[in-house]
Amino acid sequence: MSDLEKTRKSLSFLVDDSLRPGLILHMDGNVLYENEAFKLCFDSVTNRNIVQLLDASSYEAFEKFTRKAKRSGCMMMEMMPKKVMLTEKHPVDMQLLFVPDVNKMIVMFDAVHLQMLPSMKTYVNAFNQSSNFILLVDQEGIIRDVNAMHTVFINRRREELIGENISTVLSIIDSRNTNNFAELCETVKRQGCVETFKSYQRTQEDTRHYHITTYYDQETNMYIIQMADSTEKENLQVQLAHSGSLSAVGQIAASIAHEIRNPITTLKGFTQLLKASASDDSKRYISVIEDEIDRMESILGEMLVLSKPSVKKKSIFSLEILVDEMVAVLQPKALMEGIEIDTDIRVKESPLLHGDPDKFKQVLLNLFKNALESMEHGGILTIQLSEEDKKLMLTIKDTGKGMTLHQVNQIFMPFFSSKPGGTGLGLPFVLKTVEEHGGTIAVESQLEIGTKFVLTLPKKNEAANEMMNCKRTIVS
């Protein structure tokens, strides 16, 4: 921090704690600091020297005080002997204070029209404490002030924004932004306000959705730009649409089951009859038909799983034991394909869950199987179980071919599959089951690097631990 910045901070509390407009000046009259009351009352943030604020006689009196203060070298305070015409509308009295230790001047203003300041302070507090990001922009598009939410919304310091053009902020949020501020101003003046929606990629894993509203204030001739974070609302809408998709799949599955199962049974019966009297060549064709019929039954079975209501069979089970059992099931397949399975358990005691262990077995089987199928010889499947803030974290990471961002955004949608012959119903089942158990899933993926699934699940409470003292296994 520079010496000038330290000086500003050491003196600013003297003017910030007051309801009166105030300035901190260098001895040559240049403005070092303006408090919020000064900015709001006189709209003079563009003025950088007090000579721009005073009439000739008032400035002469100011200069006389400055010379006297320099000669004395002592702290001095004085009221200006006449009305200071700070603006044509607002004649004010000016109080001067010389601080010799830092060789700076503090100026405070009094005026009849400032009787409204208590309510103004309320507005200042509302501006500073708002949960939205608010910017004050002048006619040229220059940012004159921002509230304290700048670090939350765009991760920039206040000093990086004040004095910059509004296009700086807009380009941070949207690098392809081509909006013309002059055109925006005309639209705002004509319509009263303009609303836009922007998506901002804060990090690779964090996309925010901002609702931006621009207003024009005729009295101050300033534009007020307010950004509200609507990310949670957007995510809820996506989840609602997804829930609707699953519900529709369930309804379709119920009707499909009724309509297709009978014809499938009939087809299987006739293929068995044909097989008894068929030639060797015909038997090969019939085997293909039987395989396809089995595949149809498999797809139908997966759809019926999605159509079922929430968990009915609930018990307390150990996630660690469940992971070990599923790894044992898939270990032979991994060995045959030259894939290493690395299991890392980082929990102090058996991690217990409350729910349906059979359904959760299927969740693990789907995720492990997908990971193995995405890798070639020499791949590594890493399974890590850890605990964080009374939550269980199950991480499943592969070194497979990875996915594009579009694929990551679609994988939990019914019938979407990147695998040849895939039904696109395995991961929707995984999501549905994890959510039924009170958990969440996060996915990260990069092409040619691999994919990572992170399941976050609520750990069963201590009462459940006592119930499990005599039983530490699950029914397989």
Computed over every residue of the chain, the mean pLDDT equals 79
**Given the structure tokens 């349906």, which residue do they identify?**
356
Count of the separate structural domains present in the chain = 4
Q: What is the mean pLDDT of residues 264-272?
A: 80
Judge if 333 and 446 occupy the same domain.
Answer: yes
Q: What is the pLDDT of residue 398?
A: 95
Residue 476 lies in a domain: no
C-alpha 76/C-alpha 73 separation (Å) is 9
From 243, 272, 307, give the residue that closes a domain.
Answer: 307
Judge if 360 and 250 occupy the same domain.
Answer: no
Q: What is the pLDDT of residue 396?
A: 95
Judge if 349 and 370 occupy the same domain.
Answer: yes
Range with the poorest average pLDDT among 140-149, 264-273, 419-428: 419-428
CA 101 to chain centre: 47
Domain boundaries, position 278: 234-307
C-alpha 53/C-alpha 60 separation (Å) is 12
Judge if 15 and 96 occupy the same domain.
Answer: yes
Residue 123 lies in a domain: no
Q: What is the mean pLDDT of residues 182-191?
A: 83
Q: What is the mean pLDDT of residues 322-344?
A: 89
| DSSP designation for 104 | E
Judge if 198 and 257 occupy the same domain.
Answer: no
What burial letters (b/e) apply to 121-150, b meaning 16+ CB within 10 Å? eeebeebeeeebbbbbbbeebbbbbbbebb
CA nearest neighbour of 249 among 423, 435, 441: 423
Residue 24 lies in a domain: yes
Q: What is the CATH number of the domain that holds 25?
A: 3.30.450.20
pLDDT surpasses 60 at 337: yes
Q: Which amino acid is at 182?
A: A
Summarised one tens digit per residue, pLDDT across range 57-94 is: 888 888 889 999 888 888 888 887 555 655 454 567 78
CA nearest neighbour of 330 among 361, 298, 294: 361
Judge if 321 and 462 occupy the same domain.
Answer: yes
Q: What is the CATH number of the domain that holds 280?
A: 1.10.287
Judge if 220 and 244 occupy the same domain.
Answer: no
| DSSP designation for 33 | E
CB 185 within 8 A of CB 197: no
Q: What is the CATH number of the domain that holds 428?
A: 3.30.565.10
Summarised one tens digit per residue, pLDDT across range 238-257 is: 666 666 666 666 666 666 66
Judge if 169 and 201 occupy the same domain.
Answer: yes
Task: Give Cα separations from 240 to 110, 181, 236, 397, 406 (angstroms).
Answer: 57, 36, 6, 28, 19
CB 447 within 8 A of CB 403: yes
C-alpha 327/C-alpha 321 separation (Å) is 10
Q: Outline where 401-475 has alpha helix (H).
A: 405-410, 426-436, 462-467
Residue 475 lies in a domain: no
Range with the poorest average pLDDT among 118-132, 180-194, 407-421, 439-453: 118-132
Confidence of residue 141 (pLDDT cuts 50, 70, 90): confident
Judge if 240 and 267 occupy the same domain.
Answer: yes
Judge if 72 and 174 occupy the same domain.
Answer: no
CA nearest neighbour of 23 among 75, 74, 62: 62
Q: Strand ranges (DSSP E) for 375-449?
A: 380-388, 391-397, 440-446
CB 359 within 8 A of CB 433: yes
Residue 438 lies in a domain: yes
C-alpha 398/C-alpha 384 separation (Å) is 12
CB atoms closer than 10 angstroms to residue 460: 21
